[in-house]
A and B are shown apart, each in its own frame.
Chain A
Amino acid sequence: MSYITKPKFHHPQLKTNEIGLTRRDYEGTLTTLCGGCGHDSISAAIIQAAADMSLQPHRVVKVSGIGCSSKIPSYFLSKAHGFNSVHGRMPSVATGANLANKDMYYVGISGDGDSASIGLGQFCHIVRRRVNMLYIVANNGTYGLTKGQLSATADLGSMTKSGEQSQYENIDMATLAIELGASFVARSFSGDKAQLVPLIQAGLTHKGFAFIDVVSPCVTFNNTDKSTHGYKNTWENYVALSAIDYVPMKQEITTSYAAGKEKEITLHDGSVIRLHKTGNNYDPYDKENALHHINENKKQGKIATGLLYINQGAADLHELADTVDKPFNQLNEHDLCPGRDTLMDINDTFR
């Protein structure tokens, strides 16, 4: 935290986007997290992503649970809608909001405590249901808000500042999401905005459940040399499966790349994710291969990052449940009470 608010002055050449806003217009209140917290870089990455995409702030819904991570929505897009829910119950609120209005961008922010411990059940089900949203877990391997106990994502053998060493296998949120049916799964690092920003943009554009597990070091309680979630270990063992660019639909694609070096994934609105292969011939469409790669890297103490898995064919919750197209707040009395004849028709289908 700080005693002053962030000065309004900005770089004189700060660009405005298509709707006339600067990046600074997408900020929230000044962070109250510890200085150096990875979560602040996640806020900054979301701000950058939303500004570059010219998102209208009032078309965005921010939802979170409880924890340091769940404070993040305060620090970006102060003009968006937001709901700070009960611990571990953000998926329920997000599902409800999403069902009520499918026309919004949904950004869920959670942490390893909120999603891998108290909310693990809720997490599993929102993944299964493939709610159309971007779900970010700010993963630091520790319970920062309660002063640094090991969390369920802490790797076996990882040690916190107080010297506590993890004796249990960790829950890997990315493999869990892939196995439970998420159609977009990525992992990144708060320190690498060049990778994180395009992933957030692609995740927001992706139709279906997009999940990003972001290694986001807790600088106060879990940033020792023996912590697998600290800055040092992450910088040293960080493996990008492919460098990534996000090209919005409106932008004409003019650059050509040598065949075989690039993979382009066209999203449903025409935007493109461009993966620059780094020699490992990684195929993000192959679920088994994705799980294999994540585990192979993990065995060597490495952290596989980038777009791990994508499946654009999977239907989202609205398609599966055949929901009404209009948002609830636009349904009028006739839509909601269509009259006796319609009711009779419905009844007939059950006869």
Chain B
Amino acid sequence: MKPTDISDPNYFHKVVDCQWACPAHTPVPEYIRLIADKRYTDAYMINWHSNVFPGILGRTCDRPCEPACRRGRIEEEPVAICRLKRVAADFKSDIRERLPKIPKKKNGKHIALIGAGPASLTVARDLLPLGYEITLFERDPLAGGAMRTQIPRFRLPQGVLEEELNYILDLGVNQRFGEEITSMQALLAEDFDAVFVGTGAPLGKHLDLPGYEEARDRIHTGIEWLASVAFEHIHSIGKRVIVLGGGNTAMDCCRTSKRLGGEDVKVVVRSGFDEMKASPWEIEDAMNEDIPILNFHVPKRYILEDGKLVAMEFEKVQKELDENGKRLLVPTGEDPVVIPCDDVLCAIGQENSFPWIERDIGIEFDRWELPILNKATFQSTHEKVFFGGDAALGPDNIITAVAHGHDAAVSIHLLCSGEDVTKRPDPLTSLQSQKMGIHQWSYDNDISNDVRYAVPHAPKEKTLKDLSMEVELGFSPELAFGETMRCLNCDVQTVFTDQLCIECDACVDICPTDCISFTLNGEEADLRSRLMAPAENTEQDLYVSGELKTGRIMAKNEDICLHCGLCAERCPTNAWDMHKYLFNTAKAVNA
């Protein structure tokens, strides 16, 4: 193998698994150390700059960082990254002084943002400090988008939502709320310098089975029903509720139903329990509220009596694989299952919908009715029109919408500066030694052996009676500290300088996880098989040095490195040193 090029900004970024997995690339270990240090406000601001909604995301994020966490590969559970983010938000002091200053003198460019969800708000946040004038259009009377309409208040309290929305709105956004855009052509005629579409995926799917038309008043689409609950148009539901679907919306629907008078609430899914799309912790929370989940039940028809919905019929199926290994759901032949119900909530997916964008104004769509975009710039086929969030690539999550918003803001700034939108600014990186003394580092390398701390919950007897009472109480500062000490500090990198190495084996002997080997060079697959311990996780890189004096090379398996720094402590020549790698994506201000 060729010596590893550690000057490639992606090399060490990839080692920080959590940050690499995060769509917005938030510097996770950096803010976890600040939380350990009780510097909650500093930790919050790192998050705020990167993911814009730390308090909201600390409660609702899909947490792609956690399955990626290295801790999950050396013991059972990853660090509770998401809930630590919430800790920063819960215990911070007033941050308003730290918000960006908005220039009084504008730069003369005017941007329209359509839909006041996370993507548009991120664009606004990134462009306002540069002197842009921003006009934000929203169909609903209030900002927030899916964060307001699709996430129940017992998961995301009103106060947390409003606080983080207001940090952005108060920067000086022209608000045109309660105004639905019905024609893109008309909007473009208003002479904006750029238009950003962040309208989400607002169309819930319904399930048209026999009996649908007759029972329609008791069959609701999940996201529309949740929005009606959020805006307090709906205050109750029948005693017996069936929720169809296995995603996070289904989990929110069933738990909301329980709080609006549903006594017998069931979730019914077509496929297997293991195939449910909902996050494991949300499934767990629903089950903790005594909501049964029935799997392998395919809905067949709505049953009515005297013109009133009374039940649904399901066919039982089982999983089989066809000759190509494709998963099939095959009827078991058992009798149909009839589940009595008063209401049905369909949470079986949502779709994009752009009936208001004329198809002859230069914005092209693909056959799935999604806009054709440059995936890096989020520019559509119309130079001035950008898309982000669910509106861009289909339904995903808040943190992805934020990431799109940052990238689109960079593009809009480049466009308005008359530059090539495809010439993206480099990320901001730094790599600095953490050595303080012979055996002292500026980070705490004495990691805790504790297993993951559970977040305390409010008692079920109380939460089920109050739609707006938050179920999760969040970590206390003490619990949070315990959890922070589980973080391996993967951003503190082992940096190897081959000219300094005397091949004494001190690092090999001390490494707790057998990451380091000195051996003859070879092709990667061959090298992986000859190391001190197997390096079978090919998604994780080998860090390979140049040739050493004995003709061998150093090969380090990044996969399970604890970043404990013992290799560098034992190294007599400083060939190993621990360097903190800070990586921040470039925002519009850096373009």
- A: residues with CB less than 8 A from B are 1-14, 24, 31, 34-38, 40-41, 43-44, 190-191, 193, 217, 219-220, 223, 231-232, 235
A132–B440 Cα distance when bound, in Å, is: 44
Let me know if A1 and B514 touch, CB within 8 A: no
**Given A4-B564, A219-B504, A13 contacting B533 (CB threshold 8 A):** yes
Partner of B502, one of A2, A31, A41, A223: A223
Let me know if A3 and B440 touch, CB within 8 A: yes
**Given A11-B513, A11-B533, A34-B572, A40 contacting B564 (CB threshold 8 A):** no
A10–B561 Cα distance when bound, in Å, is: 10
Residues of A within 8 A of B456 (CB): none
Residues of A within 8 A of B562 (CB): 7, 9
Let me know if B560 and A7 touch, CB within 8 A: no
CB distance from A36 to the nearest CB of B (A): 3
- Nearest to B573 among chain A residues (CB) is A36
Report which residue of B513, B533, B562, B570 has the largest number of chain A beta carbons within 10 angstroms of its beta carbon: B570
Let me know if A35 and B533 touch, CB within 8 A: no
**Given A14-B514, A190-B505, A7 contacting B439 (CB threshold 8 A):** no
The secondary-structure label for the interface of chain A is loop
CB distance from A68 to the nearest CB of B (A): 14
Extra inter-chain contacts (17) besides given A9-B74, A231-B503, CB under 8 Å: A2-B439, A4-B445, A6-B512, A7-B449, A7-B512, A9-B512, A9-B562, A12-B74, A31-B570, A35-B506, A37-B506, A40-B505, A40-B506, A44-B505, A190-B505, A193-B505, A231-B504
Let me know if A7 and B447 touch, CB within 8 A: yes
CB distance from B441 to the nearest CB of A (A): 9
CB distance from A113 to the nearest CB of B (A): 21
Residues of A within 8 A of B504 (CB): 36-38, 41, 191, 217, 219, 231
102-140 of chain B: CB within 8 A of chain A: none
A9–B536 Cα distance when bound, in Å, is: 18
Q: Return the CB mask of B481-519 against A: 1 if under 8 Å, else 0.
A: 000000000000000000000111110111011100000
- Nearest to B509 among chain A residues (CB) is A44
Let me know if A9 and B75 touch, CB within 8 A: yes
538-591 of chain B: CB within 8 A of chain A: 549-550, 560, 562, 564, 566, 569-573
Residues of A within 8 A of B214 (CB): none
The secondary-structure label for the interface of chain B is loop
A43–B511 Cα distance when bound, in Å, is: 14
**Interface status of B327 (Cβ within 8 A of chain A):** no
A40–B512 Cα distance when bound, in Å, is: 14
Let me know if B571 and A36 touch, CB within 8 A: yes
- Nearest to B551 among chain A residues (CB) is A235
A222–B535 Cα distance when bound, in Å, is: 36
- Nearest to A8 among chain B residues (CB) is B449
Residues of A within 8 A of B514 (CB): 10-11, 14
Q: Return the CB mask of B50-93 against A: 1 if under 8 Å, else 0.
A: 00000000000000000000000111000000000000000000
Let me know if A191 and B503 touch, CB within 8 A: yes
Let me know if B509 and A41 touch, CB within 8 A: yes
**Interface status of B534 (Cβ within 8 A of chain A):** yes
CB distance from B76 to the nearest CB of A (A): 11
**Interface status of B369 (Cβ within 8 A of chain A):** no
Partner of B560, one of A12, A40, A43, A193: A12
Let me know if B573 and A1 touch, CB within 8 A: no
A42–B510 Cα distance when bound, in Å, is: 12
Partner of B513, one of A1, A10, A190, A217: A10
Residues of B within 8 A of A35 (CB): 506, 569-572
CB distance from B438 to the nearest CB of A (A): 8
Chain B residues bordering chain A, tally (CB within 8 A) = 34
Residues of A within 8 A of B550 (CB): 235
Residues of B within 8 A of A36 (CB): 502, 504, 506, 570-573
**Interface status of B446 (Cβ within 8 A of chain A):** yes
A123–B197 Cα distance when bound, in Å, is: 86
Residues of B within 8 A of A3 (CB): 439-440, 446
CB distance from A220 to the nearest CB of B (A): 8
Partner of B73, one of A5, A12, A43, A191: A12
Residues of B within 8 A of A217 (CB): 504
CB distance from B340 to the nearest CB of A (A): 49
**Given A6-B566, A35-B571, A14 contacting B502 (CB threshold 8 A):** no
Let me know if B569 and A10 touch, CB within 8 A: no
A36–B569 Cα distance when bound, in Å, is: 10
16 contacts between A and B (CB under 8 A): A2-B569, A4-B564, A4-B566, A6-B566, A7-B449, A7-B512, A9-B449, A12-B73, A12-B74, A35-B570, A35-B572, A36-B502, A36-B570, A219-B504, A219-B572, A235-B550
**Given A2-B569, A35-B572, A36-B571, A7 contacting B564 (CB threshold 8 A):** yes
A132–B101 Cα distance when bound, in Å, is: 81
Let me know if A9 and B569 touch, CB within 8 A: no
The 3 closest A-B pairs by CB, nearest first: A36-B572, A44-B509, A35-B570
CB distance from A16 to the nearest CB of B (A): 13
Residues of B within 8 A of A191 (CB): 503-505
Residues of A within 8 A of B503 (CB): 191, 231, 235
A315–B509 Cα distance when bound, in Å, is: 37
Residues of B within 8 A of A8 (CB): 449, 512
A8–B569 Cα distance when bound, in Å, is: 17
Residues of B within 8 A of A190 (CB): 505
A2–B536 Cα distance when bound, in Å, is: 31
Let me know if A43 and B509 touch, CB within 8 A: yes
Let me know if B440 and A232 touch, CB within 8 A: no
- Nearest to A7 among chain B residues (CB) is B512
A51–B333 Cα distance when bound, in Å, is: 57
Residues of B within 8 A of A38 (CB): 504
A5–B564 Cα distance when bound, in Å, is: 10
Residues of B within 8 A of A1 (CB): 439
CB distance from A34 to the nearest CB of B (A): 7
Partner of B533, one of A14, A31, A41, A223: A14
Residues of B within 8 A of A34 (CB): 572
- Nearest to A35 among chain B residues (CB) is B570
Residues of B within 8 A of A220 (CB): 572
- Nearest to A38 among chain B residues (CB) is B504
Let me know if B449 and A11 touch, CB within 8 A: no
CB distance from A55 to the nearest CB of B (A): 19
Let me know if A4 and B446 touch, CB within 8 A: yes
Residues of A within 8 A of B505 (CB): 40-41, 44, 190-191, 193
**Given A4-B564, A219-B572, A9 contacting B502 (CB threshold 8 A):** no
Let me know if A40 and B509 touch, CB within 8 A: yes
A251–B573 Cα distance when bound, in Å, is: 41
A348–B571 Cα distance when bound, in Å, is: 68
CB distance from A253 to the nearest CB of B (A): 23
A41–B509 Cα distance when bound, in Å, is: 6
A2–B510 Cα distance when bound, in Å, is: 11
Residues of A within 8 A of B509 (CB): 40-41, 43-44
**Given A191-B503, A235-B550, A6 contacting B534 (CB threshold 8 A):** no
Let me know if A235 and B564 touch, CB within 8 A: no
CB distance from A283 to the nearest CB of B (A): 29
- Nearest to B75 among chain A residues (CB) is A9
